[in-house]
Structure 1
């Protein structure tokens, strides 16, 4: 009865919030914008790893090693360093598509609006855009710009402030002219905003956004308490059958990516990494251990303690995909969703691992994440090694965390397995 009451309270509080977040067009556009950029980010990250293989600086001469890094440098410079541009295009495209309009125009108008607001001076030289403004540092401005520009473009189109071409004109030409006035008016508004801010103490919109909004949020998001709250919310949303990572990451990804980029720049410069909490802290040391909730530990326990047929078969089914961090068979087959017997380990284990990982890295026992985006399907051990800049301690920490998760889950899975086993015995006797 107590379990039912507790479940009902959680449902009443969480489900309405999760439903609104999941169906919010802006969060959906934000999520899909990052998905557009993800292949490019991973490509750049792979070459960061290749360019910084361990011991290469000792095997090669100083000149050869510098030439090697310079040859591979453009791969990350053209992707990771300007990731904000891809995210902006993706947000503008997806938000415009939600209004049943031409998504490509929403994407390009968002990009153009962002470039209008971006400072175009570097060390006194005009006409030059610093790449830092196009990456994580400019990401918050890019997100807001993409939302506003897409909404303005949509507003002007739906007001029919468009040029109508006569019949017989090719579709491509007709679409271009119909988008001309909405795009021109949208970009004019952003130009006016740039001019207005040039007379303020901030000088640029980017400085304003970074000082007033991004810096405080980044400080908050880089702390352990906020990260624990995010992790708990991810697990609770999943428990109710909602994709917790998509919902929570839509809010936290801009912060985590910004922190990630700071570490990447420090790693490439060979200086101390500033942040423990980054995108790869979450993706590698929590998700990268079998999927959300680190269910690779659960898969191993299914083989070790399973007596019931359901548990044994589930272990066989969930094992291969679990190695590559795909855990839907476990989430839906155990099940984890709406199962009060596993709620405590499902929420507790990621929180404990978050705390262990944070203190291991903040004390220097394990190197901090180097800012390298490791593909999410990379198996445990290898992804920890790569994410920490090719450090073996990252892989060892994952193994330690895996054992901790197994210890937390053990008694609860024993109870669940016993329950399934007894039910199967009763069912077989009834036959």
Structure 2
């Protein structure tokens, strides 16, 4: 095992170092870190607002009022998290070039808003929040990169307005940024106009179409499901909301199969399908969120030595129980982190195959078609999804152990890397029992 760990370190750490020295990937990572506190805040209130089975405990009107009262917490953070990431990327990339970082952030935001269609249904002058969140992240990330580079280019060309001495610094900086910002935003306005002349109409429609059309040809079945799972994981690795992109194509198929199982279950007939919507939601997402990161949280508590991972476990653990894992995705981080790419892609595929063949051989009942609330914790989730069969809960427990086994060597390397960095930075003291305390010096 030690030789295997050393081999992984020798392969992965050099790759990670090279990627960490790339200014774009560094800006992307740091941009997500800007949004992390807001993401964690929103994640907490998503759990509270969607607490499992609360709608069966209180009246329908009371439950609606309860959700409406707490809804703004996530609507103002998670639902528009793309905006914070875009500002963060523009800010950090401009800061890398020693420019006025705040202008890099705001020009990135303004550029993205210029590209964003301001219409909902027949109402104009409004921006759909969906494109301000994870759904619009892909366009937002590249817009932030390009806008920051354009802004830097115009500044370095000295296409700026020089104010005379004695003018307040804030005023001087504003006028200095005027021409670079104007040219940058004009570039994106031209891009928007050009796309409006195409059948796609908007940049967002263009991106969505070129991703959606290949997915629609996959169909259903185990091979297609594995491809869908891999795509979900891969999109998330690059900071894109994999569920929104992939599920928008597969949900109609999965829900149809789910409904067929429900009708057969209610009639007492044999269930026809293994792959259904509840198969995906209960035996993949229902184990701590996308990528089944509840296993990662448990491993952090078991083997984590670095202060960074220990604190992350405390933050991500409670939300992970209810299948909300943005704190882990953006805090570990999983986004653009080559040290975790292998388990991030491999574990869901392995669990998908184990679950499929367990149900195909009759060891575990197929999903009964019952829609289980997505925040329902593991074990209970599997029990209810299989029509109150204890085997469903046991299968989830087994899958959780599989995920932990796959993640263990990689998380060990990541933890060791963080631990060594903390030691070299002098932010921790090491005691005889490997517990850390903050260095006061």
The two structures have a TM-score, normalised by structure 2, of 0.60
Deviation at 1:50, TM superposition (A): 1.2
**Taking structure 1 as reference, are residues 129 and 359 closer, same or farther at Cα in structure 2, changes over 3 Å only?**
farther
Matched, 1:356 2:365: no
Matched, 1:110 2:108: yes
Residues 284 and 383, structure 1, Cα contact 8 Å, conserved in 2: no
Q: What is the aligned length?
A: 335
Q: Root-mean-square deviation (CA), in Å?
A: 5.0
Name the counterpart of 2:124: 126
Residues 215 and 246, structure 2, Cα contact 8 Å, conserved in 1: no
> C-alpha separation between the residues in 1 aligned to 2:248 and 2:119?
21
Deviations 1:372-395 (A, max 9, x none): 7xxxxxxxxx9858999x999999
3-state SS of paired residue (2:173): helix
Deviations 1:81-107 (A, max 9, x none): 111111111111111111111111111
* 279-288 vs 252-261, which moves further: 252-261
Q: How does 1:280-291 map to 2 (within 5 A)?
A: 280-282=289-291, 284-291=293-300
> C-alpha separation between the residues in 2 aligned to 1:218 and 1:83?
28
Deviations 1:167-195 (A, max 9, x none): 12221111111111100110011111111
Deviation at 1:55, TM superposition (A): 2.9
Matched, 1:23 2:21: yes
Deviation at 1:19, TM superposition (A): 3.5
Name the counterpart of 1:252: 238
Residues 384 and 395, structure 1, Cα contact 8 Å, conserved in 2: yes
Name the counterpart of 2:436: none
3-state SS of paired residue (2:98): coil
Structure 2 residues not aligned, in runs of 5+: 219-223, 253-258, 260-276, 317-341, 360-365, 409-441
Deviation at 1:52, TM superposition (A): 1.7
Name the counterpart of 1:163: 161
3-state SS of paired residue (1:280): coil
Residues 280 and 387, structure 1, Cα contact 8 Å, conserved in 2: no
> C-alpha separation between the residues in 2 aligned to 1:209 and 1:367?
34
> C-alpha separation between the residues in 1 aligned to 2:211 and 2:78?
23
**Taking structure 1 as reference, are residues 356 and 283 closer, same or farther at Cα in structure 2, changes over 3 Å only?**
closer
> C-alpha separation between the residues in 1 aligned to 2:109 and 2:344?
41
The one of 170, 177, 180 aligned to 1:179: 177
Matched, 1:136 2:149: no
Name the counterpart of 2:52: 54
> C-alpha separation between the residues in 1 aligned to 2:216 and 2:295?
20
Residues 385 and 395, structure 1, Cα contact 8 Å, conserved in 2: yes
> C-alpha separation between the residues in 2 aligned to 1:365 and 1:155?
59
> C-alpha separation between the residues in 2 aligned to 1:104 and 1:285?
37
> C-alpha separation between the residues in 1 aligned to 2:212 and 2:175?
37
Name the counterpart of 2:438: none
> C-alpha separation between the residues in 2 aligned to 1:274 and 1:205?
33
Where has structure 1 moved over 6 Å in runs of 4 or more? 6-10, 217-220, 226-231, 260-263, 319-323, 347-350, 365-372, 385-388, 390-398, 405-410
> C-alpha separation between the residues in 2 aligned to 1:409 and 1:119?
41
> C-alpha separation between the residues in 1 aligned to 2:164 and 2:186?
27
Structure 1 residues not aligned, in runs of 5+: 232-247, 300-313, 327-346, 373-381, 411-431
Q: How does 1:292-303 map to 2 (within 5 A)?
A: 296=302
Matched, 1:37 2:32: no
Q: How does 1:326-345 map to 2 (within 5 A)?
A: none
**Taking structure 1 as reference, are residues 161 and 214 closer, same or farther at Cα in structure 2, changes over 3 Å only?**
farther
**Taking structure 1 as reference, are residues 262 and 409 closer, same or farther at Cα in structure 2, changes over 3 Å only?**
closer
Deviation at 1:18, TM superposition (A): 3.7
**Taking structure 1 as reference, are residues 191 and 369 closer, same or farther at Cα in structure 2, changes over 3 Å only?**
farther
